[in-house]
């Protein structure tokens, strides 16, 4: 069978078994027959390239052999052709094997070199840096098994906690402040940093494999990989106890898996097609389980999937049932599998934190009931006059109606009434009738009753009057206080009307009669008509940071709605019906926690000295101050050449794409020697990755920082590699490699310029000032000495050197081991 040919391509060939090779692009990437190793085929070989495999050659020859083993005349005419094709096929297989070996050697070398860049002096600084406050602290809480709430999914935090536990972290160290010393308390921070650095450094070889898998040259892949390696911001971020290194690792690995899957498009429903698709789904689940930024990775793969399915649907040779099979398998692997992994991570998270902790207050009472140490005993359902009750607010996380023997500093200067998030004796209130007459018979509290609330521990009553609250100084809010003294019957400002506004649908009695947990009610002040209200406004230190309670006129639900959580009444019979919170299952807890994470994340709107907006990231307008101590400084600032180069690649692609569209419309179409579609598809995928990991941040009103740009930067770097490949396409391999080396050397030079603030190394004020290439770079040069000699041989720096020795000695496993002293000799010290 004759081979089909189209415009010759410099790279990947693939066949359509068993008939012919078609040198056109069938998917977003150019593919090849048996593996993912790019193969360069010379122009002279294209004349003899064939779709058939070597075994198919033998089958053709055998087909034309006579019964005696003699060949027919027509076979004689094809012998020369077949032998030439067979030789080309042999040469191609040898070239593939050599290319594969070369690529793995390069991958190994890149991994080793990236390890040196990321691990160099990783014990420095030996104190808490930036967000190690949070993520180191979360590791301690995992070890304590006490529940906490964070705005990020749990996978990366659990991995860090696992390494911390295996390294022997003492959970009493809480990482609460930047600059806290690690050495004195013996914190095993080095192994935890090594884990984060390991996940970060693996992005370097993955970048190389991604470029090669997408069909690009070795020089282009090296440029992209080494730009990732020498990106100062990534180096700084990867060396610390942060979530970003695992996030970027899973993002990069998922991208590689997806490209490998695309390279199997000509062999659907075969082993490696399934393997790479499942691996992609696994990667998506792990990525989004680190941070919700993983949703942008899901969007990137999703857009590519839709495009791929659209192409399959447009192929009239593909039966509908085959298309549906394509669709269903992708849906399972790329939607169901990531969701299952995401939910599994939360199941492990809940299992790891069974005990009550600092995060309880963020969650509903039903959720809290599942935590050991926060569960509540069954409580009587009936509420009668004389009952002691806990009154809980519905709409905020403030907690219980509370009072304590401390007065407001202004206003009425009466006793404070607040919302307190924890169970406490000062939360008990006794329900009394409007008049002071007491009856021996038990009388239930009903809708519309006028009541008084006596604070049990201070014998004061819930009170309101026409004075402004301490924090909400507006005329439609009245102050709420606790007023009175023992033996005083109070006054009319102590009267509150019970209005039941909602009830448990399974308990119709709770509609008309106040019932524990089942009745939702308002307390309306009888004299002024305002309703008892609370909101997420904290009192100052004199109020112990507790939540403000006011009485609001014309207040709307739900911030004026309350319910009774606990009750005690000696008059109730012993066999009284009791109730408790319904314990939620996993799915309810999963949904609730994710809602709380979302709402808390949206609430992070306070300004930060080093926050920045997305429009400033591509041009590297400013960085982030991570740490400063002992005349050293760590400031997260990207490699300007990498940032600006990747941004230029994005702009160049868009300009070229628009230009080509305009020229095509006028009938001037250029194909770049048959490679235009290949470059457009490959670059288009990475541009989509950059766009979808960058532009969603414009929609966010929360605090944002430069490190949020890192996943988008990764795709921008890959796009730069494609641009390099296209620009140097006409050069021979040696010259192309020389150009690549020049680009890499420039990147390394810029990287070295900013090493002092990347690693926290000595620097001088003058050198620091001269490195401020932009006036908006606000790293503090005053932290550095005037001369480098000041860093060496002074008493100020000897302790820091000894700390580094102790840190290294601690993790070599021998605290008494002798290590080289500064300037030679030996130094022996103990932790």
Please write the tens of the pLDDT for every residue from 503-526: 999 999 999 999 999 999 999 999
What is the chain's mean pLDDT, rounded?
86
Q: SS3 for 61?
A: helix
pLDDT given for residue 47 in this prediction: 32
Which of these, 722, 660, 716, 720, lies nearest to 692 by C-alpha position?
A: 716
pLDDT given for residue 296 in this prediction: 97
pLDDT tens across 496-509, in order?
A: 999 999 999 999 99
pLDDT over 70 (residue 463):
yes
Beta strands in 700-768 (DSSP E): none
User: Based on the number of CB atoms within 10 Å of its own CB, is 172 exposed (0-12), middle (13-18) or buried (19 or more)?
Assistant: exposed
Measured distance CA(315)–CA(27) in Å, rounded: 12
Confidence at 477, pLDDT banded by 50, 70, 90 = very high
pLDDT over 70 (residue 634):
yes
pLDDT given for residue 793 in this prediction: 61
Measured distance CA(383)–CA(376) in Å, rounded: 18
- Cα dihedral across residues 28, 33, 37, 43: positive or negative: negative
Q: SS3 for 358?
A: coil
pLDDT tens across 350-375, in order?
A: 999 999 998 988 899 999 999 998 88
Confidence at 438, pLDDT banded by 50, 70, 90 = low
Put simply, whether the predicted model's pTM sits higher than 0.75 gets the answer yes
Q: What is the DSSP string of 591-605?
A: HHHHHHHHHHHHT--
In CATH, the number for domain 377-580 is 2.80.10.50
The two structure tokens encoding residue 743: 């680009």
The two structure tokens encoding residue 692: 């979808």
Q: Are 128 and 242 within 8 A, CB to CB?
A: no
Find the range with the poorest average confidence among 108-112, 401-405, 422-426, 530-534.
422-426
Find the range with the poorest average confidence among 27-36, 632-641, 780-789.
27-36
pLDDT given for residue 114 in this prediction: 97
- Considering only residues 685 and 824, tell me which one the structure prediction assigns the higher pLDDT: 685
Q: Are 22 and 4 within 8 A, CB to CB?
A: yes
- Cα dihedral across residues 233, 236, 239, 243: positive or negative: negative
- Considering only residues 392 and 666, tell me which one the structure prediction assigns the higher pLDDT: 392
pLDDT given for residue 9 in this prediction: 35
pLDDT tens across 553-563, in order?
A: 988 788 999 99
- Considering only residues 807 and 168, tell me which one the structure prediction assigns the higher pLDDT: 168
Q: What is the mean pLDDT of residues 59-69?
A: 39
pLDDT over 60 (residue 426):
yes
Q: What is the DSSP letter of 336?
A: I
Q: Are 101 and 37 within 8 A, CB to CB?
A: no
The two structure tokens encoding residue 415: 């006793």
Contacts of residue 484, Cβ cutoff 8 Å, sequence gap at least 6:
459, 460, 461, 463, 490, 494
The two structure tokens encoding residue 142: 């995992």
Share of the chain above pLDDT 90, in %: 70
pLDDT tens across 228-281, in order?
A: 999 999 999 999 999 999 999 999 999 999 999 999 988 999 999 999 999 999
pLDDT given for residue 374 in this prediction: 82
Q: What is the mean pLDDT of residues 638-656?
A: 96
Measured distance CA(133)–CA(241) in Å, rounded: 9
Contacts of residues 767-772 at CB distance under 8 Å and 24 or more positions apart, as own/partner, are none
pLDDT tens across 758-810, in order?
A: 999 999 999 999 999 999 999 989 989 999 888 886 544 544 445 555 555 55
pLDDT over 70 (residue 608):
yes
Q: What is the mean pLDDT of residues 447-461?
A: 96
Measured distance CA(750)–CA(85) in Å, rounded: 50
pLDDT given for residue 96 in this prediction: 83
pLDDT given for residue 810 in this prediction: 53
Q: What is the mean pLDDT of residues 141-167?
A: 96
Share of the chain above pLDDT 70, in %: 84
Confidence at 118, pLDDT banded by 50, 70, 90 = very high
The two structure tokens encoding residue 204: 């370097």
Find the range with the poorest average confidence among 89-93, 227-231, 616-620, 683-687.
89-93
- Considering only residues 83 and 628, tell me which one the structure prediction assigns the higher pLDDT: 628
Measured distance CA(315)–CA(141) in Å, rounded: 55
Find the range with the poorest average confidence among 224-233, 242-251, 598-607, 612-621.
598-607
The two structure tokens encoding residue 334: 């790329």
Q: What is the DSSP string of 550-600?
A: EEETT--TTTT-EEEEEEE-TTS-TT--EE-PPPP-HHHHHHHHHHHHHHH
pLDDT over 70 (residue 825):
no
CA dihedral 387, 390, 395, 397 (to 10 degrees): 180
Measured distance CA(480)–CA(555) in Å, rounded: 15
Find the range with the poorest average confidence among 26-30, 250-254, 432-436, 483-487.
26-30
Confidence at 439, pLDDT banded by 50, 70, 90 = low
Neighbours of 764 (CB within 10 A): 18
pLDDT over 70 (residue 484):
yes
415-420/400-407 β-pairing: antiparallel
**Residue labelled with tokens 């998917």:** 27
Confidence at 44, pLDDT banded by 50, 70, 90 = very low
Measured distance CA(437)–CA(439) in Å, rounded: 7
The two structure tokens encoding residue 196: 């984060």
**Residue labelled with tokens 């009745």:** 519
Confidence at 406, pLDDT banded by 50, 70, 90 = very high
User: Based on the number of CB atoms within 10 Å of its own CB, is 775 exposed (0-12), middle (13-18) or buried (19 or more)?
Assistant: exposed
Confidence at 50, pLDDT banded by 50, 70, 90 = very low
pLDDT over 90 (residue 826):
no
pLDDT given for residue 209 in this prediction: 97
């Amino acid at each position: 069978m004759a081979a089909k040919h189209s415009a010759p391509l410099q790279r990947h060939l693939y066949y359509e078994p068993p008939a012919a090779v078609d040198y056109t692009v069938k998917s977003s990437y150019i593919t090849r027959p048996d593996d993912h190793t790019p193969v360069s085929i010379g122009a002279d070989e294209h004349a003899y390239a064939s779709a058939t495999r070597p075994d198919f050659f033998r089958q053709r020859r055998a087909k034309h052999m006579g019964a005696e083993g003699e060949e027919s005349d027509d076979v004689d005419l094809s012998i020369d052709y077949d032998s030439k094709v067979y030789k080309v096929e042999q040469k191609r297989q040898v070239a593939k094997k050599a290319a594969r070996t070369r690529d793995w050697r390069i991958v190994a070398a890149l991994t080793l070199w990236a390890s040196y860049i990321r691990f160099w002096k990783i014990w420095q600084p030996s104190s808490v840096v930036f967000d190690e406050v949070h993520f180191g602290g979360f590791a301690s809480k995992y070890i304590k098994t006490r529940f906490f709430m964070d705005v990020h999914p749990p996978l990366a935090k659990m991995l860090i906690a696992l390494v911390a536990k295996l390294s022997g972290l003492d959970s009493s160290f809480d990482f609460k402040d930047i600059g806290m010393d690690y050495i004195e308390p013996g914190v095993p921070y080095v192994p935890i940093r090594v884990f984060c650095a390991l996940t970060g450094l693996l992005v370097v070889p993955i970048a190389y494999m991604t470029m090669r898998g997408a069909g690009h040259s070795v020089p282009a892949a090296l440029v992209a990989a080494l730009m990732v390696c020498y990106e100062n911001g990534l180096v700084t971020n990867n060396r610390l106890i942060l979530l970003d290194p695992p996030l970027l690792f899973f993002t990069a690995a998922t991208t590689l898996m997806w490209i490998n899957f695309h390279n199997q498009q000509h062999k659907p429903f075969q082993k490696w097609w399934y393997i790479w698709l499942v691996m992609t789904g696994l990667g998506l689940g792990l990525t989004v389980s680190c941070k919700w930024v993983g949703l942008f990775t899901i969007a990137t793969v999703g857009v590519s999937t839709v495009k791929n399915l659209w192409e399959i649907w447009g192929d009239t040779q593909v039966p509908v049932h085959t298309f549906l099979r394509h669709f269903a398998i992708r849906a399972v692997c790329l939607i169901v599998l990531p969701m299952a992994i995401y939910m599994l991570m939360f199941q492990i998270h809940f299992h790891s934190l069974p005990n009550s902790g600092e995060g309880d207050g963020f969650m509903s009472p039903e959720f809290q009931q599942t935590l050991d140490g926060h569960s509540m005993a069954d409580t009587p359902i009936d509420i009668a006059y004389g009952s002691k009750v806990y009154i809980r607010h519905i709409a905020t996380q403030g907690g219980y109606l509370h009072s304590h023997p401390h007065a407001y500093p202004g206003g009425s200067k009466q006793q404070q009434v607040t919302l307190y998030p924890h169970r406490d004796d000062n939360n008990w209130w006794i329900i009394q009738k409007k008049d002071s007459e007491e009856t021996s018979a038990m009388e239930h509290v009903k809708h519309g009753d006028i009541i008084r609330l006596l604070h049990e521990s201070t014998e004061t009553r819930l009170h309101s009057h026409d004075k402004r609250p301490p924090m909400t100084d507006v005329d439609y809010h009245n102050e709420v206080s606790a007023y009175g003294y023992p033996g005083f019957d109070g006054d009319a400002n102590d009267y509150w009307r019970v209005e039941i506004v909602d009830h448990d649908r399974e308990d119709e009695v709770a509609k008309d009669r106040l019932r524990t947990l089942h009745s939702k009610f308002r307390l309306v002040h009888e004299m002024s008509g305002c309703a008892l209200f609370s909101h997420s406004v904290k009192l100052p230190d004199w109020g112990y940071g507790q939540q403000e309670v006011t009485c609001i006129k014309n207040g709307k639900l739900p911030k004026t709605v309350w319910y009774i959580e606990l009750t005690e009444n000696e008059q109730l019979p012993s066999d009284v019906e009791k109730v408790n919170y319904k314990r939620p299952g996993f799915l309810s807890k999963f949904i609730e926690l994710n809602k709380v994470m979302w709402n808390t994340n949206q609430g992070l709107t306070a300004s930060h000295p080093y926050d920045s907006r997305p429009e400033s990231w591509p041009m590297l307008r400013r960085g982030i101050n991570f740490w400063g101590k002992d005349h050293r400084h760590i400031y997260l600032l990207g490699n300007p050449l990498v940032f600006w180069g990747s941004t230029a690649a994005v702009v160049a692609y868009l300009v070229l794409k628009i230009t080509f569209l305009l020229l095509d419309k006028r009938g001037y179409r250029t194909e770049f020697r048959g490679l235009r579609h290949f470059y457009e598809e490959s670059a288009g995928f990475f541009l989509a990755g950059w766009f979808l990991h960058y532009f969603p941040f414009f929609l966010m009103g929360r605090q944002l920082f430069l490190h949020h740009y890192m996943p988008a930067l990764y795709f921008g770097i890959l796009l730069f590699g494609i641009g390099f490949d296209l620009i140097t396409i006409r050069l021979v391999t040696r010259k192309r490699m020389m150009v690549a080396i020049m680009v890499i050397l420039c990147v390394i030079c810029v990287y070295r310029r900013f090493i002092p603030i990347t690693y926290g190394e000595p620097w001088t004020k003058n050198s620091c000032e001269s490195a401020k290439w932009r006036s908006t770079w606000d790293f503090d040069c005053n932290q550095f000495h005037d001369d480098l000699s000041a860093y060496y041989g002074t008493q100020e720096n000897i302790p820091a050197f000894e700390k580094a020795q102790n840190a290294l000695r601690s993790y070599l496993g021998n605290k008494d081991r002798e290590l080289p002293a500064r300037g030679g000799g030996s130094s022996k010290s103990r932790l």
